Chains A and B, each alone.
Chain A
Amino acid sequence: MSTDPHLWLRHKARVSPYEVAFWIAALIVPYVLLPKYLALASQIAIMATFCISLDLILGYAGIISLGHAAFFGIGAYAAGILSARGWGEPLSGLLFAAVVAGLAGWIIGFMIVRVQHLALLMITLGLSFLAVEVANTFDGLTGGADGLLGIDTWKLFGIWKFSIWGHTSYAYALGVSFLIFLLCRRLVHSPFGLTLEAIRENPQRTTAIGVANRRHLQWVFTLSSSIAGIAGAMLAQTTKTVSLESLGFQNSAEIAVMLILGGTGRLYGAIVGTIIFMVARDQLSGMNPKYWYFWIGILLMMVVLFMPRGILGAMQRLAAKMSRS
């Protein structure tokens, strides 16, 4: 059977009814059915944004980073410090965080695109430790180990107050996440997105057809850092505190777990993985954290052994099998 190439490519990028249903549910379910969980829901939206930023570099471009939380934390501190120093307008705070984190990503990107394998792992790991050390050293600015206090987030658009009930927080986090998701969705279906996947698959070949690998990788790294920074800024603004842990290895490792759990290189994998991980942690929060990590560890090993493409990848394969039989 011969396929119309235009139709096939359009079909690949089309908006499916499941997607529409998902976003409508994301808007309605927390407000109507689970109003007690709005704070959790906004944290999920924030972490999902962070996870999507990791998916861009890891899932699509193939850059394995063990230190992406550094940019999340930089964004959180940027917005948090801005607010603690007297400017608490949330949207401009986001923009500020995006620029600061993006700038950091751009500078670090010069290094990232030039190394691979163990050296890449070590450099990303080292940078995340460095970020913690720096934040700890400049405790006058960051509050050090006590965390950054005194964040005051002004009313959204001058109208809606960020209350402890989380009505505004969730709308804010969901809205920003949705916009960023749309942006990333566009990116992955663009010629640039295809180029990233090609570089991940075979950098030797992309060079042979003329692609400037490093320039593309640096750009996506910058963009991804900026998005991670926005996510961090949202966390700072909605929880009104920033801790050193937001920069640290544990946060980097956890976000990678969420991504792998959902499945890399498909955007929705990042979202699904984040939802499952965060809900599970919330439900099991009564449990001693040491047991929680036992199960996280088991889960990670199981996913790698039995579902290397994540939950969505496994579901896709199952669906394909069922439709064939």
Chain B
Amino acid sequence: MSQLLAVMFDGVAFGMLLFLISVGLSVTLGMMNFTNLAHGAFAMVGGYVTFALASLAGWPFLATLPVAFLATMAIAAVFERLLFRYIYETGELNQVLFTIGFVFTASATAAYVFGTVHQSVDMPAVLTGFIELGEIKLPSYRLFLVAIALVITVGVVYGLEHTRFGAMVRASVDNQKVARGLGLNVNRIFALTFALGSGLAGLGGALAIEVLGLDPSFGFHILVLVLIVVALGGLGSVWGSFVAALCLGVFDVGGKYFVPELGSFLIYLFMVALLFFRPQGLFGKR
């Protein structure tokens, strides 16, 4: 029983991580219908920022996290202005190919700078042990993950629901044309959302090092999971992504633990079947 709970908790923590990485993509996809397969590459960028600071420059792990967020955000903003904005009107296929090209280039660059080996970072002592709750021993890093993800979820939801910028984002997701008609500068709102979402992905990537490890193909590997979250959750739906990420995390970890030979097989099968019957995702409107 306690083992089941521990695995469940592991899954929840993993799901939270997936949510952090995916939520930005869900919002930007809902807003511009820009099929961005490069989102995972920004998670990788955040991961390498933290790796470089923590393992190469000797910073404490926790101090690198805000930098991972901000640096990824800045890098994403630059690329959005330099490259991505030219392909919003070019159709799905071109967006898919362009962003895949971006991932190829980003991952080759990472391989050039950091090598192709699996990297890890040193954790502070507080995050390495276990915390005992009655009979259950919970790894403190997983608890930390859940806590940080919950704080950010509350922040994102509050930001979307109760701030002026959030209202503009929601209006743009709801109906881009109407939002433009109301005089909103959707392109600028998008650019900012894109940067923020990528920043969150970067933070997620930094936090993921301890769970998944880090190598140049991280952008590709995480992409599939991120896309599953976004597609199942429904474009532009934060709560949808949250629930989808939690389910995926629990299923993935549980599946790999209890039926290792079928683990990922079941996930893909479930995704294909669900998308077939509900192409708009679990919570999507369109």
Residues of A participating in the B interface, judged by any CB pair closer than 8 Å: 58, 64, 66, 111, 114-119, 121-123, 125-127, 129-130, 133-134, 137, 249, 253, 256-257, 260, 264, 290-294, 296-301, 303-305, 308
State which of B96, B101, B280 has its C-beta within 8 Å of the C-beta of A301: B101
| In the complex with contacts A115-B275, A126-B268, A304-B97 CB distance below 8 A | yes
Residues of B participating in the A interface, judged by any CB pair closer than 8 Å: 29, 35, 83, 86-87, 90, 92-94, 96-98, 100-109, 111-112, 116, 216, 220, 224, 227-228, 230-231, 235, 261-262, 264-265, 268-269, 271-272, 275-276, 279-280
CA–CA, A10 to B96, complex, Å?
A: 36
Contact B271 A126, beta carbon cutoff 8 Å: yes
Contact A115 B279, beta carbon cutoff 8 Å: yes
Residues of chain B with a CB closer than 8 A to A133's CB: 264-265, 268
Residues of chain B with a CB closer than 8 A to A137's CB: 261-262, 265
CA–CA, A249 to B280, complex, Å?
A: 23
Contact B224 A129, beta carbon cutoff 8 Å: yes
CA–CA, A304 to B105, complex, Å?
A: 15
Contact A111 B86, beta carbon cutoff 8 Å: no
State which of A126, A290, A298 has its C-beta within 8 Å of the C-beta of B216: A290
State which of B86, B100, B104 has its C-beta within 8 Å of the C-beta of A294: B104
CA–CA, A308 to B279, complex, Å?
A: 28
State which of A122, A134, A290, A301 has its C-beta within 8 Å of the C-beta of B111: A290
Since A58-B93, A257-B97, A290-B108 are in contact, a sample of 8 more A-B pairs with Cβ atoms closer than 8 Å, ordered by chain A residue number, is A111-B272, A123-B272, A260-B93, A294-B112, A296-B104, A297-B104, A297-B105, A301-B105
Contact A129 B93, beta carbon cutoff 8 Å: no
CA–CA, A291 to B216, complex, Å?
A: 12
Residues of chain B with a CB closer than 8 A to A58's CB: 93
Residues of chain B with a CB closer than 8 A to A297's CB: 100-106, 108
Contact A119 B105, beta carbon cutoff 8 Å: no
Closest to B281 in A: A119
Pull 26 A–B residue pairs with CB atoms less than 8 Å apart, ordered by A: A64-B96, A115-B275, A115-B279, A116-B279, A117-B35, A117-B92, A118-B29, A118-B227, A118-B235, A122-B231, A126-B228, A126-B272, A133-B265, A249-B220, A260-B93, A260-B97, A264-B93, A290-B112, A292-B108, A293-B104, A294-B105, A294-B109, A297-B102, A297-B105, A305-B86, A308-B94
Contact A294 B276, beta carbon cutoff 8 Å: no
The 8 closest A-B pairs by CB, nearest first: A300-B101, A297-B104, A297-B105, A294-B108, A119-B279, A290-B111, A304-B98, A133-B265
| In the complex with contacts A125-B227, A133-B264, A290-B216, A114-B101 CB distance below 8 A | no
State which of B87, B235, B268 has its C-beta within 8 Å of the C-beta of A129: B268
Contact A130 B98, beta carbon cutoff 8 Å: no
State which of A116, A129, A256, A291 has its C-beta within 8 Å of the C-beta of B97: A256
Residues of chain A with a CB closer than 8 A to B216's CB: 290
Contact A253 B100, beta carbon cutoff 8 Å: yes
Closest to B276 in A: A111
Number of A-B contacts (CB under 8 A): 123
Q: Say how far B244's CB is from chain A's closest CB, in angstroms.
A: 12
Contact B231 A118, beta carbon cutoff 8 Å: yes
The CB with the most chain B CB atoms within 10 A, among A127, A133, A249, is that of: A133
Contact A298 B105, beta carbon cutoff 8 Å: yes
Contact B276 A115, beta carbon cutoff 8 Å: yes
Q: Say how far A60's CB is from chain B's closest CB, in angstroms.
A: 13
| In the complex with contacts A293-B107, A293-B108, A294-B105, A300-B265 CB distance below 8 A | no
Q: Say how far B86's CB is from chain A's closest CB, in angstroms.
A: 6
Contact B104 A123, beta carbon cutoff 8 Å: no
Contact A299 B101, beta carbon cutoff 8 Å: yes
CA–CA, A303 to B97, complex, Å?
A: 9
Residues of chain A with a CB closer than 8 A to B231's CB: 118-119, 122
Closest to B280 in A: A119
Residues of chain A with a CB closer than 8 A to B86's CB: 305
CA–CA, A249 to B220, complex, Å?
A: 10
Contact A114 B108, beta carbon cutoff 8 Å: no
CA–CA, A75 to B261, complex, Å?
A: 25
Contact B101 A298, beta carbon cutoff 8 Å: yes
CA–CA, A253 to B83, complex, Å?
A: 21
CA–CA, A325 to B280, complex, Å?
A: 50
CA–CA, A21 to B106, complex, Å?
A: 41
Contact B227 A122, beta carbon cutoff 8 Å: yes
Closest to B261 in A: A137
CA–CA, A4 to B100, complex, Å?
A: 45
Residues of chain A with a CB closer than 8 A to B106's CB: 297
CA–CA, A264 to B93, complex, Å?
A: 11
CA–CA, A118 to B236, complex, Å?
A: 13
